[in-house]
Chains A and B, each alone.
Chain A
Amino acid sequence: MTDSKYFTTNKKGEIFELKAELNNEKKEKRKEAVKKVIAAMTVGKDVSSLFPDVVNCMQTDNLELKKLVYLYLMNYAKSQPDMAIMAVNSFVKDCEDPNPLIRALAVRTMGCIRVDKITEYLCEPLRKCLKDEDPYVRKTAAVCVAKLHDINAQMVEDQGFLDSLRDLIADSNPMVVANAVAALSEISESHPNSNLLDLNPQNINKLLTALNECTEWGQIFILDCLSNYNPKDEREAQSICERVTPRLSHANSAVVLSAVKVLMKFLELLPKDSDYYGTLLKKLSPPLVTLLSGEPEVQYVALRNINLIVQKRPEILKQEIKVFFVKYNDPIYVKLEKLDIMIRLASQANIAQVLAELKEYATEVDVDFVRKAVRAIGRCAIKVEQSAERCVSTLLDLIQTKVNYVVQEAIVVIRDIFRKYPNKYESIIATLCENLDSLDEPDARAAMIWIVGEYAERIDNADELLESFLEGFHDESTQVQLTLLTAIVKLFLKKPSETQELVQQVLSLATQDSDNPDLRDRGYIYWRLLSTDPVTAKEVVLSEKPLISEETDLIEPTLLDELICHIGSLASVYHKPPNAFVEGSHGIHQHSADQFAIMKQYFSVLQVWLPATKAKGLEIAGTFSRRQGHMYMDMTFINKALQHMTDFAIQFNKNSFGVIPTTPLPIHTPLMPNQSIDISLPLSTIGPVMKMDPLNNLQVAVKNIIDVFYFSCLIPLNIFFVEDGKMERQVFLVTWKDIPNENELQYQIKECHLNADTVSGKLQNNNIFTIAKRNVEGQDMLYQSLKLTNGIWILAELRIQPGNPNYTGKKKTNATAFSYKLMVHIF
């Protein structure tokens, strides 16, 4: 006899019949009836009207029937809260049952019933179960605390369950420890005080001991929790790493990835020249490769993570490119990810193999995959100069296939190759021009037009080619229109005599017949340039173009660091920080990633911005400061080359705050080999503004007699807080009220053992001013303001509880998203 028959009853009066059966005298009949009810519930029928009859069946010593009734209760209690009370007694009784399986079942189920009246009754049994003699009950009770917190957070705090949970970390049973860790982590996700877990060396030691003994899942909970710990020194970091490395041989891929996360994070703290550092790096590679022999879904998760790891530490997998070769039967999502990693690992040593593979892929069936493979060939050419010629000839072969999307993709990458190696492969232009008619995608059309414009002097019929695009000018996408405009202007500057008419035509199309402001503006600029000073026009339009970078799609370094802290999780799969896809996340992870960043950015006094290896022997280390109302960039220049250096100069790119140097670089004497010089460069914020990402990013160019070097650094925001940032009390009150709540941000400052007065003193030193202070219910409330150099005001409320080292703060600002982001950076 099977259960499937329960799914088939579908006649009218079903509920009525079930009701009768539920009240049948025979136990077996009642059980059958409850099964039918559950089946109906699963397929989405409403059987809530049977509530009292089902609850009646609860008083039974048959465990299977009991479980079924509980299942029903979990589903419908919320819709029938008054009736659910009927079940309470039975639950409380079960929590005292001599059989630990029943005690655990009761406490597990009660936690799933989201009815306030029931949760009230849950507290006492839960308290007992947390101290039960049986570990099975304790481990179930631990999870139950997390359930209760989801229903009624206040109650969990008031009843002291958080402390009981913390006590369980020292439990003798490893599974209880693991579940306690899981519950605490879950609670801290929605709890602003993310220091719930209280990770200290003693607790860490307990966790590491439990790690060796608990189930595979428990190991994951513990490892994920360990990754949030910040070891106090290298020795501690190393000893944790030593105890985590054996997990790399676990059969469960999630255990392996979580272990990799801990190791990748703690690697940052180990001295790079130690033997252990090298050994650890070597140990990371084999388990990562092994993950690729798992099931496809896990392979996908592994590959997305390897993509991050390869960007952060390319040395780990540089020898392993072969394992990323695509298999014919791989699911498409695995293929695309492997291809991405292949491009990242391509180097002179393996380029021949990689190219041979890519050529195979370019003849496959899946369009996305083929396109990506073609693009990859182009990337190889740009990345490995020695292979450029072979790549170009491979691309030409592919163009000969005449497969439409292959040709278009190839032309787009060939444009980039021309940019990278000017005046080298122009001989193939003729072949490209043959395919002009088959291009129907904007990207490909734009690429082709760019090529024609750039090499107009070598293409005899360039004017005809460009003219042919001009016919349907208004149907083209903006990208194509803009490129076409520029290309025709280039052509005109190169062959002015024959193309006067053409340029007139395009300029009028762009300026008079178009609604697109970008296009119109560019059209007018060209027009004026050409009509006033053709020589300057030539200089501007035909100037030398900056080099294009070798790597593409690189994840921005701060985001990469954050994602490394999330290895194995969804964030690492999406390559997005958790707050981009999780609502209201105040995660413990977020916090740890911030700390990680702070550790690296601000605590080192002088940071090496430009290493000597990247700048032909010039090393620059520096920091920013604010002194007596002025901002300074303090730098040390060291000459590690064998020749002396002169003719120093510095320039900033446009940045979010318009920071520019107010004086030239004060280095007037030649810098001799092995000599260093300390300088302080005064700054002001009157320069051109452009939004950067991250906001406080500053791109700098430094020139000396040898070459020009580029680097970027992050400006700590507190140097932008101005001295007159103290707001009038009245103004403050009005402004505070006026700012809408959307512009409000809450945050926590942790482990700050200061009282209100010292805090305001400290903050004042950094130009954050206290406007008012009041005492509410034993808490000190500080109201503060600060002003940025660009005139944006930020208001803050700081709540300090004596004895509690964690402060809660609220921030408000009246500016837009721009300043909103700013605040995130300050704290």
Chain B
Amino acid sequence: MIGGLFIYNHKGEVLISRVYLSYSDSAAVHYGLPRPGLFSWRNAVDAFRVNVIHARQQVRSPVTNIARTSFFHVKRSNIWLAAVTKQNVNAAMVFEFLYKMCDVMTAYFGKISEENIKNNFVLIYELLDEILDFGYPQNSETGALKTFITQQGIKSQTKEEQSQITSQVTGQIGWRREGIKYRRNELFLDVLESVNLLMSPQGQVLSAHVSGRVVMKSYLSGMPECKFGMNDKIVIDKQGKGGTADDAGKSGKQSIAIDDCTFHQCVRLSKFDSERSISFIPPDGEYELMRYRTTKDIILPFRVIPLVREVGRTKLEVKVVIKSNFKPSLLAQKIEVRIPTPLNTSGVQVICMKGKAKYKASENAIVWKIKRMAGMKESQISAEIELLPTNDKKKWARPPISMNFEVPFAPSGLKVRYLKVFEPKLNYSDHDVIKWVRYIGRSGIYETRC
């Protein structure tokens, strides 16, 4: 498993180090196996610094093998997290663990930075001790961890409290503690989608998909049993069979085909597999209930029409039109169009109908920002780009024009149909729970080649 775990700053200095395995040869000697070569953690730590952090070249792989030792790394701002092993470990698990560790640290002390790590190093050791035992990941749900690892140190607990903690950490519902009470039972559902597009200059969709998340904030008392329903085509078709033909026809139109979805560990997967129903006992507070992906019948909120013309060797003329493609009553926000410019650009003149446009030399792009834009509208920008003559033989690669925006609907067409809450032990019913649903569509990688 993971033999050691290190956190480095950008200079390659070790901020946190935790070693689980010595990779000594006691077992090998015992069974008369070939002895492994000499191994020292100090050398391993240095090897990573020299070969990865200080490497001249861009990192070519997140897994590096140096002298029969494998290094997995993840970078967050300028902090490097490295897991080291000499065994054939489950690579996906190691990365998932490193992500999880980042999540846990963020939940405890915010942004992962050198300062924060130094400020909280005792806490980090304490957390690591709990979530990684002998290199094997253990319960790493922040909700559970926060019940017994606090920054103030543990307060004396009663015996009941102690056994409650341990049964929660090891229990079947490790993500929720018993005895939660709210005066007002309330829940918020956010359907957050990012719509991804790659379009050819001629306006042909090369690939498009929506990756969505359903984020839930639950403030519910007790151990509520929830059931979530959406306009999933498979479910609706199934129900449609039972109802009248007319029903099926009507709902069939509004349902969407989900390519694949994954769930938070609270969802009973076997039930989803057999009945396609989503039932669970939610964690308290905010968490991600599900992720999904769709590729069919996506509403593309914007269309980008580029026109790039080279005028001689020293001038480019660029015209870009954007068209919004949704109900006129809805408003898109935070619209940003990024038009890449060649490296040898010497000057840019821009004229746009709406919003503000600026040439940013440091980013090699013209950035055009529009605060708001209603549906079924169109806007245009034109620019003249002066180029310095170069003798560089290589042509400019023409990176695609990318776009950012936010719209108040789900581009996949997903609709929440219901979220039912049952808590038989406490006296509140589904009707008493206040529920809020919100849809936000954002641009993922939304690119048009030019």
Contact = CB atoms under 8 A, between A and B. Distances in A.
Nearest to A404: B393
A4 B119 contact: yes
Contacts, number: 315
A293 B210 CA distance: 10
A42 B14 contact: yes
B60 A333 contact: yes
A624 interface: no
A566 B92 CA distance: 12
Interface in A99-124: 99-101, 104-105, 108, 111-112, 114
Interface of A: 2-4, 6-7, 35, 38-39, 42-44, 62-64, 67-68, 71, 98-101, 104-105, 108, 111-112, 114, 134-137, 139-140, 143-144, 146-147, 149-154, 173-176, 179, 182, 186, 189-192, 212-217, 220-221, 224, 243, 245-247, 249-254, 256-258, 286-287, 289-290, 293, 295-298, 300-302, 322-323, 325, 327-329, 331-333, 353, 356-357, 360, 363-365, 401-404, 566, 568-574, 578, 581-587, 589, 746
Interface residues of B, number: 112
Contact of A569 (B36, B74, B89, B122): B89
Contact of B70 (A67, A331, A581): A581
Given A4-B115, A174-B172, A572-B91, A192 B264 contact: no
A566 B88 contact: yes
Given A42-B14, A216-B265, A363-B397, A143 B136 contact: yes
Contacts of B137: 217
24 contacts: A2-B119, A4-B118, A6-B121, A38-B122, A63-B154, A114-B24, A150-B22, A153-B26, A153-B30, A176-B170, A214-B172, A215-B174, A217-B97, A243-B270, A251-B290, A328-B399, A356-B206, A363-B398, A401-B395, A568-B90, A570-B87, A571-B88, A578-B88, A584-B33
A430 to B, nearest CB: 21
A813 to B, nearest CB: 16
Given A217-B138, A364-B397, 6 more contacts: A136-B169, A249-B262, A257-B92, A298-B96, A357-B206, A572-B91
A258 to B, nearest CB: 7
Nearest to A7: B118
A239 to B, nearest CB: 13
Interface stretch (B157-165, B181-189, B321-329): B157-165
B381 to A, nearest CB: 21
Interface of B: 1, 13-17, 20-22, 24, 26-28, 30-37, 58-63, 65, 68, 70, 72, 74, 85-93, 95-99, 115, 118-123, 125-126, 129, 133-134, 136-141, 148, 153-154, 157, 159, 162-163, 165-167, 169-172, 174, 198, 200, 206-207, 209, 211, 259-265, 268-270, 272-273, 288, 290-291, 293, 393-395, 397-400, 402, 445, 447, 449
Contact of A101 (B37, B74, B95, B162): B162
A3 B166 contact: no
Contacts of B115: 4
Nearest to B267: A249
Nearest to B260: A286
B101 to A, nearest CB: 12
A586 B89 CA distance: 14
Contact of B265 (A186, A251, A295, A365): A251
A154 B136 contact: no
Contacts of A143: 133-134, 136
A100 B63 contact: no
Nearest to B207: A322
B88 A245 contact: no
A568 B94 CA distance: 10
B91 A301 contact: yes
Contacts of B98: 297
Contacts of A578: 88
A132 to B, nearest CB: 10
A214 B90 CA distance: 18
A215 B63 contact: no
A99 B158 CA distance: 9
Nearest to B155: A63
A414 B252 CA distance: 52
Given A101-B148, A135-B166, A582-B86, A570 B129 contact: no
Given A38-B122, A363-B397, A581 B68 contact: yes
